Structure 1
Amino acid sequence: MASPTEITVSQLSRLIGTPNAPVIIDVRINEDFDLDPQIIPTAIRCPHLKVAELAPKLNAQRVVIYCQQGKKISQGSLAILRSMGVAAESLEGGHFGWRDAGQTLIPYDKLPQKNLNQQTVWVTKQRPKIDRIACPWLIRRFIDPQAQFLFVAASEVLGVAEKFNATPFDVEDVFWSHRSELCTFDVMVEEFEIKTPAILHLAKVIRGADTNRHDLAPECAGLLAASLGLSRMYRDDNEQLDAGMLLYDAFYRWARDASNEGHDWLTNNKKG
């Protein structure tokens, strides 16, 4: 049974991918990390002797700490943060507990470098519709909650990527883009290994909406309609992204918790 300052694997897994996810801090020593260079989704790496430096930015947030096994390094880091007023918990079983439960782990070498503000920076074409909102949603919910997205003229994407050390996506001839029948969201799911049933279900809907293959799932046409509506409602791409985050939060929770649920008006039922 978890202690009052621990969170279980199942509890944390229900929070990841939602707006209520905690800040997750990986405090494994380098030797342990090098043996398994993967992280829990959205986790940031921090040496355990430097966790106190994070405290001023964490006071209003829920925090989860984990090391290799959830023992001395987690417990010490946890105690330091709690002594500084941070609402921190440690992950029961640590990295091993998460891994052995078959939960999603992100390959660390797939993550872009961060800027001076500790954000990954991504760039794509302006006036997003589906993939260019869905991919930022996936990145902020599973990779980097602080990620920055730059929407620029199509002809300038690669130039901006070079000059601002940004990662281009959903444009031709870059790594993070369509491949065969897969849309960019599919590619990110594959490369980041976020292969939960809910994400794979959602990916099919996004692929169908983005590639005009509405036969893939009944929801494809609805996602396309909602996406086109958002693009008409907002002139500013960043405002549209903020609104789109809520849209994809709803679709994710549907895919995870409600895809088998229907709704019918009582008078449509057959009467005896």
Structure 2
Amino acid sequence: MSSTTTISHDKLARLVGTPACPVLIDVRIDEDYTLDPRLIPGSRRRSHKDIETWMPELSGKRAIIICQQGKKLSEGTAALLRYNGIPAETLDGGYEAWVAASLPLVPVSRLPALDQKGRTVWVTRARPKIDRIACPWLIRRFVDPAAVFLFVTPAEVEAVADRFNGAAFDIENVFWSHRGELCTFDVMIEEFGLASEPLSRLATIVRGADTARPDLAPEAPGLLAASLGLSRMFADDLEQLEAGMTLYDAFYRWCRDATDETHNWPNRKPGA
């Protein structure tokens, strides 16, 4: 009989990248983490020893706890959370089951340094259109749900990133930027180890819209139109980002689940 307090890796994989994904907490011991310093997409590192410190962050949320093999460490942590009124499950088989299933893993070496609240900080040009909304969506959904995004004057991006210990992106001559025909969104998918059929399909659409190549995907002009519309609806870049999250959530779910679905107004003759 399956447990109501565990989740399989395939079910979790369907949640990762969506707004419905629970908070993912990696409680592997340091020795196991050091041997393989990668994270299940969207998960954050926490110590079971400090549960009283980080437990308040989970108020009103659902959590999935991940340890090396899905045994005592995650079982105990999840049970303590449930005791304190927080719905919590464990990943069946733990981190090892996820690895064995060849599911994506984010190399921690690619993450910027964390701020005092354990968040990554990213800096880019103000007045975003496509890449500068797509990349934050990717980071929030697959890398760091709590990531901070600073939109600043173009000439100050690198200086602000340096002063505030962040990562500059989508400007020239930085690591997180266009490479050849690839846009920054493509680069992030590759560097963060997130390659998948749905994300690759979405990346083609983003690239087509961002680099004036509508021939790359029939959906690219639609993304361009929606993106330009959002940029005119919102004067505040952060408000635009929040609206853009829903836009990219929809495009991602289409890429993952609905590419074969069509829709047409019924053309029926009277009495048919």
TM-score using structure 1 length: 0.96
C-alpha distance in 1 between matches for 2:2 and 2:73: 17
Corresponding residue number in structure 1 for 2:208: 208
Partner-residue secondary structure (3-state), 1:225: helix
Corresponding residue number in structure 1 for 2:180: 180
Corresponding residue number in structure 1 for 2:81: 81
Indicate if the aligned counterparts of 1:59 and 1:87 stay in contact, CA closer than 8 A.
Answer: no
Partner-residue secondary structure (3-state), 1:89: strand
Deviations 1:33-58 (A, max 9, x none): 11211110111111222223221221
Give the count of matched residue pairs: 270
Q: State the 4+ residue runs in structure 1 displaced beyond 6 angstroms.
A: none
C-alpha distance in 2 between matches for 1:10 and 1:93: 11
Partner-residue secondary structure (3-state), 1:215: helix
Partner-residue secondary structure (3-state), 2:124: strand
C-alpha distance in 2 between matches for 1:144 and 1:38: 13
Greater shift, 242-251 or 259-268, is seen at: 259-268
Partner-residue secondary structure (3-state), 1:79: helix
Partner-residue secondary structure (3-state), 2:216: coil
CA RMSD in angstroms, aligned pairs only: 1.4
Give unmatched runs, 5+ long, in structure 1: none
Corresponding residue number in structure 1 for 2:45: 45
Report the residue type matching 2:148 in the other structure: Q
Corresponding residue number in structure 1 for 2:128: 128
* Percent identity of equivalent pairs: 57
Report the residue type matching 1:67 in the other structure: C
C-alpha distance in 1 between matches for 2:121 and 2:259: 33
TM-score using structure 2 length: 0.96
Partner-residue secondary structure (3-state), 2:267: helix
Report the residue type matching 1:14 in the other structure: R
C-alpha distance in 2 between matches for 1:198 and 1:236: 30
Report the CA distance between 1:268 and its aligned residue: 8.6
Partner-residue secondary structure (3-state), 1:24: strand
Report the residue type matching 2:21 in the other structure: A
Partner-residue secondary structure (3-state), 2:155: helix
Give unmatched runs, 5+ long, in structure 2: none
C-alpha distance in 2 between matches for 1:152 and 1:48: 38
Partner-residue secondary structure (3-state), 1:263: coil
C-alpha distance in 1 between matches for 2:163 and 2:210: 29
C-alpha distance in 1 between matches for 2:119 and 2:37: 20
Report the CA distance between 1:186 and its aligned residue: 0.1
